[in-house]
Amino acid sequence: MVTRHTAFSPDYRSACERFRQAALHLGWQVETQPIGCLGPQGDELAFDVAISPGGEPTKVLVVSSGLHGVEGFFGSAVQISLLEHWARTTPPAVRCVFLHGLNPFGFAWLRRCDENNVDPNRNFLLLRDHCGKSPEDYARLDPFLNPRRPPTRWEPFTLKALLLIARYGMASLQHSVASGQYQFPQGLFYGGAGPSRTQQLLARHLPRWLAGSQCVVHLDFHSGLGPWGAGKLLIDYPLDERQRRCLTDWHGVGSFEASDSSAVAYHARGGFGRWCVSGGLAPFYLFSCAEFGTWSPLRVLAGLRAENQAHHWGNPSDPSTIHAKEALKELFCPADEEWRSQVVGRSLDLIGQSVRGLLELELPDTRLARTGQGHPPV
């Protein structure tokens, strides 16, 4: 029998309160970063930061969650589970920085994107990204992806999607849809016209939170891509030899997909990982997107499409809008207890492997300059 996993919270407010209390119980410093928006109950929306008081200051473990809003239900459960576990045992001998609910608007309002319909993981553009040009073939898909009307029960989404796959091929469609677009502000996977509020706050405060660090291992938790309950580390920047060796030694062969791998389905622009690694925050910065699978790609895309329709063209109190948002939550954080137990267990194992590896890392030569001078402008 699978027991109920209690670390999962029913809503954004509960998740934030539980995270703060768990961190304070360990004696961690907790900060709140408001984004200037209100939640469904009229409360101020913010993401939380918790920093451990002890540990080796030059070696830092960063665990982040909720960059894709509604995925925060899963990521929050991982962080709360880990804090509660350390309260019963002993926290690791490294400094820990936990970023909780990085996209509080999407978390609170059951959206994957933020208050400006921006997909935050397509928003962290670097100067060499040419300020976010959309794939040329995205425009032909926009009428299908973003119909300007509320969702209906009789939408032949699957049939239309299969016809497009037959016509253009799955790989081409995945690239066109999910790599990020910058011309349709109400569309899916919109990367924005400039840095999001979350990016601005991270650019301002991450150097302070990571001050004195030399080796940073950063795990950013996501859900919705891949086989049911399976985990994979996704890397959106070129790995050097040392980074690649660490991932292989700590997590095993085949545990990660690098940006240069032929197995990568599509290359997303404006990713959080590449931005962190390029920012000169530490001489050694190893970022991994820890992705855990839920439902099939077509079912996930259908849910994203329906919620986007409901949000922009539906009535907030209409049953179809409420259903679309609850369905999106299920797509990225299934209620199935076996799935929940499995993904949290695997996540804690992943973090444990990263901590052990981080503790064994040799510090870089402090005579060498850091990798950059901050983040280049969009």
Quote the pLDDT of residue 377.
43
Q: What is the DSSP string of 33-94?
A: EEEEEE-TTSPEEEEEEEE-S-SEEEEEEEEEE-TTGGGHHHHHHHHHHHHHHHHHS---SE
From residue 295, alpha-carbon distances to 224, 228, 238, 300, 332 in Å are 7, 6, 29, 6, 8
**Cβ pair 162, 144 in contact under 8 A:** no
- 353 CB neighbour count, 10 Å cutoff: 17
**Cβ pair 54, 138 in contact under 8 A:** no
Q: Tell me the pLDDT of the chain averaged across its residues.
A: 91
Quote the pLDDT of residue 158.
87
Quote the pLDDT of residue 371.
44
Q: pLDDT digit string (tens) for 40-86?
A: 999 999 999 999 998 889 999 999 999 999 999 999 999 999 999 99
- Rounded Cα distance, 263 and 300, in Å: 20
Q: For 313, how many CA atoms within 13 A lie in the half-sphere containing its CB?
A: 13
- Rounded Cα distance, 232 and 26, in Å: 29
Complete domains list, the chain, with CATH: 12-116+199-360 (3.40.630)
- The span from the first CA to the last CA of the chain, in angstroms, equals 51
- Rounded Cα distance, 205 and 53, in Å: 17
Q: pLDDT digit string (tens) for 164-174?
A: 888 888 877 78
Quote the pLDDT of residue 112.
98
Say what the pTM is. Answer: 0.94
Quote the pLDDT of residue 171.
78
**Cβ pair 306, 324 in contact under 8 A:** yes
Which residues, including other chains, have CB under 8 Å from residue 5's CB and lie 6 or more apart? 77, 337, 340, 341, 344
By the 10 Å C-beta count (0-12 exposed, 13-18 middle, 19+ buried), 366 is classed as exposed
Quote the pLDDT of residue 265.
52
30 pairs with which residues across the strands?
Answer: 50
For every one of its 378 residues, what pLDDT tens digit does the chain have, with 9 covering 90 and above?
455 689 999 999 999 999 999 999 999 999 999 999 999 999 999 999 999 998 889 999 999 999 999 999 999 999 999 999 999 999 999 999 999 999 999 999 999 999 999 999 999 999 877 555 566 678 888 989 999 999 988 888 988 888 888 888 887 778 778 888 999 999 999 999 999 999 999 999 999 999 999 999 999 999 999 999 999 999 999 999 999 999 999 999 999 998 765 555 556 789 999 999 999 999 999 999 999 999 999 999 999 999 999 999 999 999 999 999 999 999 999 999 999 999 999 999 999 999 999 999 999 875 544 444 455 444
Which residue is listed with tokens 């991450």?
206
